Structure 1
Amino acid sequence: MKARVLHRLHSALERHLPEQRLFLRSDTETRFIRLKPETQLIALAGSALVVGWAIIATAVLLMDSIGSGSFREQAKREQKSYEMRLNALSAQRDARAEEAAAAQERFNAALAQISVMQSQLLASEDRRRELETGLNVVQGTLRRTMKERDAALKGEAEAIATLQGATGSAKTTDGRLTDVEGTVDFLTAALESTARERDAMADTAAAAREEAQALAFERELILDRNDQIFTQLEEALTVSVAPLDKMFRDAGLPPDQLISTVKRGYSGQGGPLTPLTFSTKGLPLDMGQNRANNILKGLERMDYYRIAAQKAPFAIPVKSAFRFTSGFGPRWGRMHNGTDFAAAYGTPIYATGDGVVIHAGRQSGYGNLVKIQHEFGIETRYAHMSAVRVKVGQRVSRGDRIGDMGSTGRSTGVHLHYEVRVGGKPVNPMTYIKAGQDVF
């Protein structure tokens, strides 16, 4: 049965694929190879499989090419959107910087005005005390004069009574009368002088009271203006300090610990930030003096923030036109410890904060590399540069040019590889750059 089925199958194949012979002829002999129908069927099937595989593979490659083109277009659109966002952030940063500068100018002007008004207030207090002292002296003199007048009147009355009741010779009486008249004239002149002094003292006392009332009113006006100025200063200080506080927190630098570190390096005091003290007797400060001291403490905190912000790497290392090509994080199965900035060959590269250069030269993989040690245990690295413009041990400030962009080391194109390390551990540089853009 099996042989019959195979025979029928062979006969069917022979009708469509008759046996073929392939002759191989040489100089001495001729050979041939028989191609049975089954062999031809296998060959045809194999060829069909190869052709089908080629068609499928070609289709897959075409689809992958189309998908890659679409992905590249999408990546370009996302990159363009990212660059527009960065430009907007840069514009916002410039606006915030202008607002901070304007607020600082207003704050300085208000502080100068407070100093002038405080001097005026102290001068008015001294004048008021002097007037009160003069008024007390005038009142004491007036009371003494009135007592003397009363005593003189009493003496005059006694002299008149003595004169009226006197007895004796005419000569004695005339002498006594002359003495009494002289005494009366003297007392009358003394009374008139005393009355004039009393009237003058009363006028002086009235004028002193009026001037004291005017000074009290002026003092109230000054206190009211001081209250308004203090309120404006407190609001300006809050607006100025809050963004700086947020910037350091976003960068992972606790503000209190940061200020403590800055104080250890800058412990001097003096100038406008010295606390106000007006009493030498240990008396407590009033509300205005406490508010002034609180403002001075806020100014001192802002000054420490300014010093810390200058020394920490919050700036962007490239100021010319650039594009981000790779961010912080895993890349191609390995950890990428920095952010890449791509720009034209030779583009200037700048220090992002104050610090000291601890490496300036080639290093495996990094190519031409500059390392800068900043305060607070922060280190920045600038790799793949075409030229290095600083030396080891050199102190640099934010914005100083340290090299040119290139493609040295393990690099696939012209770009800057920028790293930020805290305590030797790599952190995302964009954390510091974005925190700085929100303030400066």
Structure 2
Amino acid sequence: MDRLNASLEKWLPEQRLFLRSDDTTRFVRLRPLTQAVGISGITLVFGWTLVASSFLVIDAVGSGQSRDQIQRSQAAFEERLELLQAERDARAAEALAAQSRFAVALEQVSQMQTQLLSSEESRREMETGLAAVQSTLRDTLADRDPVVAAAAPDAPDRAEEFSVALDILSGELRSAADQRVEAEHDAETARLTAQELTVERDQILARNDEILSQLESAVTVSVAPLDEVFRNVGMNPDDVLRTIRSGYSGQGGPLTPMSYSTRGNAALSEGETKARQIIVTLDQMNTYRIAIEKLPLAMPVTQNFRYTSGFGRRWGRMHQGIDMAGPVGTPIHTTGDGVVTFAGRSGAYGNLIKISHELGTETRYAHLNRIHVKVGDRVSQGERIGDMGNTGRSTGPHLHYEVRMNGRAVDPMSFIKAADNVQ
């Protein structure tokens, strides 16, 4: 030690600190080694403070950028989802219009086919009648010669009658033939129109299937992080969905008659299945959104602070929350909507606020300097409920923050981290 002090003497000469009273004078000798240890300790503390502050600043900047990026991604996704829904509705309207035009075309084809059959039947009847008249006319002409002498005065009249009848029948036959050709042309035109409408309808249905597939993928991807939120905080997603749906279960309204597709149930079963699955998934996502609004997922301290202790065992005892250190008077905000069940002094907690939230969750805010709420108050997420302090069993000003589920303490960081998945 003497050699070490001697080697440090040239840089850190020995100092003496005199302490004088009324009748005595004492001094404290600060040897070079003592000075070196003190300077090293001060340097280490100062360096640690700089490094910790840098980490806090970097973490705050990174968290802000990540939150902004998540918000932009969510806004872009919701905008894309709305565009897909609008396009799906437009394609569905086009499909209904095409189906209506197709039904009209089918009706026209059916009518034209009926007319064509009637015209063909009339033509056959006229041909049969004309053949019978021609046969009768030949028989009459064959019998005319023996009696021509006796019926000479009437022969021209009868021949003229037969000629007129034959002209009438020939005209009717030509008219029937023209009607048949026109009906065949109309039927062919209607058939081509029906084929075009069928192709158009199939294209619209294919596009609808594509949109339904995109929507199905989009809503499935959106539900996954929400489902993960509840699993991360130790909650069963199925139980959460049942709880929320039991509180939002109203039904009613008039019932409209069922409609049937002209293509049959098998042709639309896949599209209907996708549409129903999308509706189910959207309902699940909306139910998750309702549940998330009821959970304490925000930060209780929004100003600068430092994490000083986490959840778990500390010095052999269970630490049932997390500690956030900051200056006295730092605003404390509630992390979710709820009702104040306790606001006052509580032993080692010091000044304590308890807030009961839905789905069996409770938050606690301890060691407060001031309390701004009272028992029975309804508070909203982000509302200022108190100020950071140093009351109760505490070594310095900080907030002790707890989250309890059905009376059991859980890690509050799981709720804080889960909030990043829904912002």
TM-score band, normalised by shorter chain: 0.7 to 0.9
Count of matched residue pairs? 382
Counterpart check, 1:196 vs 2:178: yes
Q: Is the 8 A contact 2:56 2:306 kept in 1?
A: no
| Identical amino acids, percent of aligned pairs | 42
The CA deviation at 1:407 is 3.7
Determine the structure 1 residue equivalent to 2:99: 125
Counterpart selection for 1:213 from 184, 195, 209 = 195
Deviates most, 215-224 or 189-198: 189-198
Deviation of 1:88 after TM superposition, in Å, equals: 1.9
**RMSD across aligned positions (CA):** 3.3
Partner of 2:359, secondary structure, is: helix
Map of 2:367 onto structure 1: 384
CA distance change for structure 1 residues 346 and 133 in 2, over 3 Å: closer, same or farther?
A: same
CA deviation after TM superposition for structure 1 residue 78, in Å: 4.5
Q: 1:394 aligns with which of 365, 377, 383?
A: 377
The answer for unaligned runs of 5 or more in structure 2 is: 1-27
Matched residue, 1:180: 162
Cα distance, 1:65 vs structure 2: 8.2
Task: Note if 1:321 corresponds to 2:324.
Answer: no
Q: Whole-Å Cα distance in 1 between the matches of residues 260 and 60 of structure 2?
A: 54
Distance 1:72 1:318 in 2: 25
The equivalent of 1:6 in structure 2 is: none
Structure 1, residues 379-409: CA drift from partner, whole Å, max 9, x if none?
0012233443334333333223333334444
SS across alignment from 2:192: helix
Distance 1:216 1:98 in 2: 42
Name the residue aligned to 2:15.
none
Structure 1 segments (4+ residues) deviating >6 Å: 57-62
Post-superposition CA distance 1:76-113 (Å, at most 9, x none): 52464255235423422331232122212211221122
Q: Report the equivalent of 1:263.
A: 245
2:346 aligned to which of 363, 370, 395? 363
Residues 78 and 405 of structure 1, relative CA distance in 2, 3 Å threshold = closer
Secondary structure of 2:125's partner?
Answer: helix
Query: What TM-score comes out, normalization by structure 1 length?
Result: 0.76
Label 1:178 to 1:415 Cα distance change in 2 as closer, same or farther (>3 A). farther
Find the partner of 1:296 among 267, 274, 279.
279
Residue 409 of structure 2 is matched in structure 1 by: 426
1:100–1:240 Cα contact (<8 Å) kept: no
- Supply the distance in 1 between the matched residues of 2:96 and 2:252 (Cα, whole angstroms): 22
CA distance in 2, matches of 1:324, 1:262: 34
The one-character-per-residue Cα deviations of 1:176-216 (angstroms, maximum 9, x if unpaired) are 44443443343334334333332332232122122112112
Matched AA of 2:103: R
Give the greater-gyration-radius structure (CA). Answer: 1
AA partner of residue 218 (structure 1): E
Residue type at the aligned position of 1:342: A
* Alpha-carbon distance in 1 for matches of 2:302, 2:261: 55
Give the whole-Å Cα distance in 1 for the aligned partners of 2:347 and 2:153.
138
Counterpart in the other structure of 1:103: 77
Q: Is the 1:131–1:208 contact (alpha carbons within 8 Å) kept by the matching residues of 2? A: yes
Q: SS state of the match for residue 385, structure 1?
A: strand
Q: Secondary structure at the match of 1:321?
A: coil
Q: Secondary structure at the match of 1:353?
A: coil
- Identify the residue that residue 21 of structure 2 maps to in structure 1: none
CA gap of 1:405–1:172, structure 2 versus 1, over 3 A, is farther
In structure 2, do the counterparts of structure 1 residues 229 and 384 end up closer, same or farther at CA, with 3 Å as the change threshold?
Answer: same
Mapped contact 1:310–1:398 kept (Cα < 8 A): no
Whole-angstrom distance in 2 between the partners of 1:373 and 1:293: 37
Instruction: Kindly provide the amino acid, as one letter, of the partner of residue 158 in structure 1.
Output: A
